[in-house]
Structure 1
Amino acid sequence: MTHALSASSLCKRYRSTWALRDCDLALPAGRVIALVGPNGAGKTTLLRLTVGLLSPTSGSIEVFDSSPTANTPQALARIGFLAQEHPLYRSFTVADLLHFGASLNIRFDRRLAEKRLDSLGIPLDRKAGALSGGQQSQVALALALAKRPDLLVLDEPLASLDPVARREFLQTLMGAVAQDGITVLFSSHVVHELERVCDYLVVLNHGRIALDGDIDAVLARHRILTGPRSEMDDPRLGAVLEATHSDRHTSLLVRDGAAIDGWQEQQAGLEDVVLAYLRGSATIEKREVAAS
């Protein structure tokens, strides 16, 4: 299998604070990969290491078997990066931005960018600062895609967008994935949006990898079981990631458990699984709730 990104014992420290600790990853090429975690989990640090804006404190990271810090035109051409704030030169027209992008990137496809922007009704003679937030995000995405990258890295690209702009952004992105087969590494807090467009999951918490894998395979391993109030001492339950108790019933989110007579079983959703790992996958969390 070809890996778009490989990391081994990857660590990054800022003075006395560790942003990443002992991260091992092997992300497959040609996938849309969701990177999920709370604020301060290390997501932006991992993305900046991926695109070569930072260097590891220890360990290693490679993008398509090359160091992202190589800083050669050939290496940089393989990676596209879109930061959360969609940075654009506000006094530049859209046409100026396309000319600027073409002058800096050896694989830049200006015609592709113009075609995408024309389909969205974004005029080339309009200054970037005069565009709406959604239009600015689309221009930034068009610039990133025009690099013809093998890996496109997106850092919270939906954070400042309204629902309509968010949907248009995702439609443009998925159209590019379908057409060009690029790999996308996508950081976001909006889990239900990620479930619609991503097929691979990485959960990052406290600077460490809590979970990673194909989303369908991850969900297949996790279930929600509901039954009589229980102390969870049945080994058939597998790994209990989270438990919620009422006066009479217990609801469990389990990994790799077997079916138990008398317990109702349902498929765990992606948000259920992600939140369980973010709240503490190494321990069982018990929350007392009012009886229904």
Structure 2
Amino acid sequence: MNVVEASGLGKRYGRTWALRDCTLEIPAGRVAALVGPNGAGKTTLLNLAVGLTAPSTGAVTVLSGRWAGSSAALDGIAFVAQDTPLYKGLTVADMIYLTRNLNRRFDQAYARARLDELGIPVKRRAGKLSGGQQAQLALTLALARRPRLLVLDEPVAALDPVARHDFMATVRAAADADGVSVLLSSHVLTELERVAGYLVLMSGGQVRLAGEVDDLLGTHGKASLEELALHFLRETQTPEVTR
């Protein structure tokens, strides 16, 4: 089963192609990482996969053939955007209540237990939480929907190293314990090293390389995901990638 399948997928804004000629299959049961510089097309691909925007060319399906953006697809996907969108004036308890009532499936007991384990007080307003706590709250609300596919757009970009580590550990645990497939984009290669089993390298609005991390490392003679990604990104003359 593939959690994402794209065929000739493209997205154009005016005369500018943000993504073009994307043909891709991402297998289920993986933590799949999208890696590339700003403007590579990562966010565009994620937005197309979750149905936030429509393709200009081609097609994309998710969860074994469901059209991206369809109700059948959305029931099985949870998405956390880069700015971890929360209603900052609402308390954590309010966010749980709101999310529960906006979704057909929501495990409130799981959400409460996880936030308690993290020491995040439910009576505090979301805007008063630290950056790491806000990211963990957004992730908890997403996981409580019990998705088959968790999509994360630059989830750790604004976090300090400790918060990044904790966030990615949660993602890895969800993938291992609950069988959640994960698709995430990130510039922080050192964090991806620990969690990603599948890699998609993007630049210039196109997919340059995709496959199982272990296979790609063996084929290209690289010792680490970071070395592999930096090698290919330098070949395409990309800006510096955050370490």
The match for 1:211 is 209
Q: How does 1:20-39 map to 2 (within 5 A)?
A: 20-39=19-38
Whole-Å Cα distance in 2 between the matches of residues 273 and 82 of structure 1? 27
> Does the residue aligned with 2:113 lie in a helix, a strand or coil?
helix
Q: Which amino acid aligns with 1:34?
A: A
Q: Which amino acid aligns with 1:82?
A: V
> Does the residue aligned with 1:274 lie in a helix, a strand or coil?
helix
Higher fraction of helix? 2
Stretches of structure 1 that go unaligned for 5 or more consecutive residues are 224-266, 284-292
> Does the residue aligned with 1:69 lie in a helix, a strand or coil?
coil
How far residue 69 of structure 1 moved from its aligned partner, in angstroms, is 2.2
How far residue 275 of structure 1 moved from its aligned partner, in angstroms, is 1.7
1:271 aligns with 2:226: yes
Whole-Å Cα distance in 2 between the matches of residues 173 and 67 of structure 1? 25
The match for 1:239 is none
Deviations 1:10-32 (A, max 9, x none): 01000100011100111000100
1:49 aligns with 2:4: no
Give the TM-score, by structure 1 length.
0.79
Higher fraction of strand? 1
1:17 aligns with 2:22: no
Whole-Å Cα distance in 1 between the matches of residues 181 and 73 of structure 2? 15
Give the TM-score, by structure 2 length.
0.94
The match for 1:243 is none
Deviations 1:113-165 (A, max 9, x none): 11111100001111101111111000000011011111100000000001111
1:145 aligns with 2:133: no
Moved over 2 A (4+): none
2:31 and 2:181 in contact (8 A); partners too: yes
Whole-Å Cα distance in 1 between the matches of residues 152 and 76 of structure 2? 14
Whole-Å Cα distance in 2 between the matches of residues 199 and 138 of structure 1? 22
The match for 1:222 is 220
Q: Percent identity?
A: 55
Whole-Å Cα distance in 2 between the matches of residues 165 and 271 of structure 1? 20
The match for 2:90 is 92
Structure with bigger RCO (C-alpha 8 Å, 6+ apart): 2
Q: How many residues align?
A: 236
Q: How does 1:192-271 map to 2 (within 5 A)?
A: 192-223=190-221, 267-271=222-226
Deviations 1:248-292 (A, max 9, x none): xxxxxxxxxxxxxxxxxxx443222212222236x9xxxxxxxxx
The 10-residue stretch of structure 1 (158-167 or 267-276) with the greater mean CA deviation from structure 2: 267-276
2:30 and 2:198 in contact (8 A); partners too: yes
